[in-house]
Amino acid sequence: MSVTSIDLFSSDVPSAVEFGTVAVLLNPEDNIAVAKTTLQAGATLTRASLPTLTVAQLVPSGHKFAVREIKLGEIVRRYGWFIGYATRDIQAGEHVHVHNLGMGVELRDEAALESVGQEYDYSVDYKPVEYVPEAERRTFMGYKRGAGLRAGTRNYIAIISSVNCSAHTVRKIAAHFTPDTLADYPNVDGVIAIAHGLGCATRVGGDDYRLLQRVLAGMATHPNIAAYLLVGLGCEINQVGELVENHALSQKAAPGIKRVGNSTVAATSNMPITMTMQELGGIRKTVQAGIELVEKMLPEVNAIQREPIPVSELLVALQCGGSDGWSGVTANPVLGLACDELVKQGGGVNLAETTEIYGAEHLLTRRAATREIGEKLISKIHWWERHAAKHGVEINNNPSTGNKAGGLTTIYEKSLGAAAKAGNTPLMGVFDYAEPITTSGFTFMDTPGYDPVAATGQVAGGCNLLVFTTGRGSCFGFKPTPSIKVASNTPMYTRMVEDMDMNAGKVVDDAPNGVPMQAAADELFELMIAVASGQHTKSEAQNVGEDEFQPWSLGGIL
């Protein structure tokens, strides 16, 4: 029986429904279950060898209800772990959400620490990866970038602004190259503008300056970028020349092109191509010069063709946004299993969003390859606690309004589900925001929880593929890295099929078992290889992905 066929508002509903057809108990230790479909007050749920349960009030799909009485102040458990406290007595069958579940006066009181083990155990669950023999590993059709460099899944030319003042100009250059303009260059995926609102009114060498330069350098050197052009205004704090020097940037394509403006050097130089608007005479002249330069790059970039590449050269950014009560039950664990397979094949996966693993970090420290790696992760957690306090906010301000509408109540609950994206392999490294990811296997990057900012850091760190799970329906893309969107529930997937690449909701659709989770993970793994090989995602089909470039700013605007 499909859960979508059970209408508990109908007068034809049977007097009693078997519990497993309409609800999921994720762990025997849990005192709450998740509704598979909207449950009406008075619905009677039968349970083998357990008392019959009567639903006390309407429980929307994806939301929680108590499977036994929970006393005021008692810990509420999901996935077998602490997600908060009962803020009043809760009867069996009651809806459990913001009206009766909270974090307590302090986010980290003694009961919570004891419950989730946040004295922190390091490496106690570490298990070496059982790698697939190299001769049996899968390949994808990608763009080889040279010895020691990760292969690309796309073949873009990027026009990169150093400052907001050149953002319009780089967009104008990129906009000239329409699909019709590029029709004679089938191996070029496009010309994209990497524009932003930063680059000035900060301190040279300060935190924002360093973060922005690291992001822009990461985009210039990204494996999905075959060639790039740096465009500055001329008087900004973030000078293009300093960006090139500080990050030892070099030219990637079209070495026969002479410099423009104050960077004019011999044509044999390996320095990147840079332009400054003030020297060239303003917007129009810079746009024209940029177009002419890109036209010279196109033949060389087009000459690069896809060829078989080991999947060990895939580095996948893991993101979730617009999560709901099903995200941690379907989409995220399905993605986790697919990540386990990629790691076994020698590839890399990167989890981020430090504020969205808050309360689940103890699960990651237990998998850390070394104590040092685990302690580095915890140092990031403590930085965020201080950062949040400094700005007068709580990390539990996340979940968002949409998350709560979808059934998530506390950050601990959201984090436990979000961490499932990373699968079960060892944590091999922890990286700063936009830092080049140099380690294969499962790694973590310190980023905010805001999806565009987090993804910007991961892509700048070298991720050449992105998988984004969603329960509410986030419409996300990110050029130059293709973004695969995985829906956590079937109704949303059906409603937003033009934006979703895969439906993970089917693992719970057919009660009581649904499609096996491993089968869904295998499907996602094959989709990852297909997209890495050139198959367009739904966001690419709609040309989504330039506006999502959002470097992290700590706010030191002068």
Q: Report which of 197, 264, 153 is spatially closest to residue 456, judged by C-alpha positions.
A: 197
Q: How far is it, in rounded angstroms, from Cα 511 to Cα 345? A: 33
Helix/strand number for the chain, H first, E second: 17, 23
Instruction: Note the pLDDT of residue 116.
Output: 42
| Residues 330-368: tens digit of each pLDDT | 999 999 999 999 999 999 999 999 999 998 999 999 999
At 15, give phi and psi (nearest 5°). Answer: -65, -25
Looking at the fold, whether 242 and 350 belong to one and the same domain comes out as no
Helices (H), 132-282: 167-175, 207-220, 240-246, 277-280
Q: Report which of 284, 355, 326, 294 is spatially closest to residue 504, judged by C-alpha positions.
A: 326
Instruction: Note the pLDDT of residue 16.
Output: 84
Looking at the fold, whether 51 and 180 belong to one and the same domain comes out as no
Residue 273: inside a domain: yes
Handedness of CA 228, 499, 34, 528 (dihedral sign): negative
Q: Report which of 33, 61, 56, 29 is spatially closest to residue 405, judged by C-alpha positions.
A: 61
Looking at the fold, whether 272 and 324 belong to one and the same domain comes out as no
Residue 216: inside a domain: yes
Q: How many domains does the chain have?
A: 3
Instruction: Note the pLDDT of residue 313.
Output: 98
Question: Can you give the residue range of the structural domain that contains 290?
Answer: 156-302
| Residues 180-216: tens digit of each pLDDT | 999 999 999 999 999 999 999 999 999 999 999 999 9
Looking at the fold, whether 521 and 374 belong to one and the same domain comes out as yes
Q: What CATH number does residue 15 fall under?
A: 2.30.130.110
Residue 132: inside a domain: no
Looking at the fold, whether 330 and 269 belong to one and the same domain comes out as no
DSSP helix/strand/coil, 216: helix
Looking at the fold, whether 279 and 371 belong to one and the same domain comes out as no
Last residue of a domain, one of 85, 115, 145: 115
Residue 121: inside a domain: no
Looking at the fold, whether 358 and 465 belong to one and the same domain comes out as yes
Looking at the fold, whether 180 and 288 belong to one and the same domain comes out as yes
Residue 184: inside a domain: yes
Q: Can you give 297-316 as a three-state secondary structure string?
A: HHHHHHCCCCEEEEHHHCEE
Residue 13: inside a domain: yes
Low-confidence ranges of the chain (pLDDT < 50): 1-14, 105-117, 259-268
Looking at the fold, whether 320 and 260 belong to one and the same domain comes out as no
Last residue of a domain, one of 276, 302, 328: 302
Looking at the fold, whether 346 and 395 belong to one and the same domain comes out as yes
User: CA torsion 384→389→392→398, rounded to 10°?
Assistant: 40
Both structure tokens of 167: 């953002």
Looking at the fold, whether 50 and 167 belong to one and the same domain comes out as no
In DSSP notation, 356-395 reads: GSTTTHHHHHTTBSSHHHHHHHHHHHHHHHHHHHHTT--G
Extended strands (E) in 131-260: 139-142, 156-161, 190-194, 225-232
Looking at the fold, whether 367 and 410 belong to one and the same domain comes out as yes
Last residue of a domain, one of 248, 267, 302: 302
Residue 547: inside a domain: no
Residue 122: inside a domain: no
Instruction: Note the pLDDT of residue 255.
Output: 54
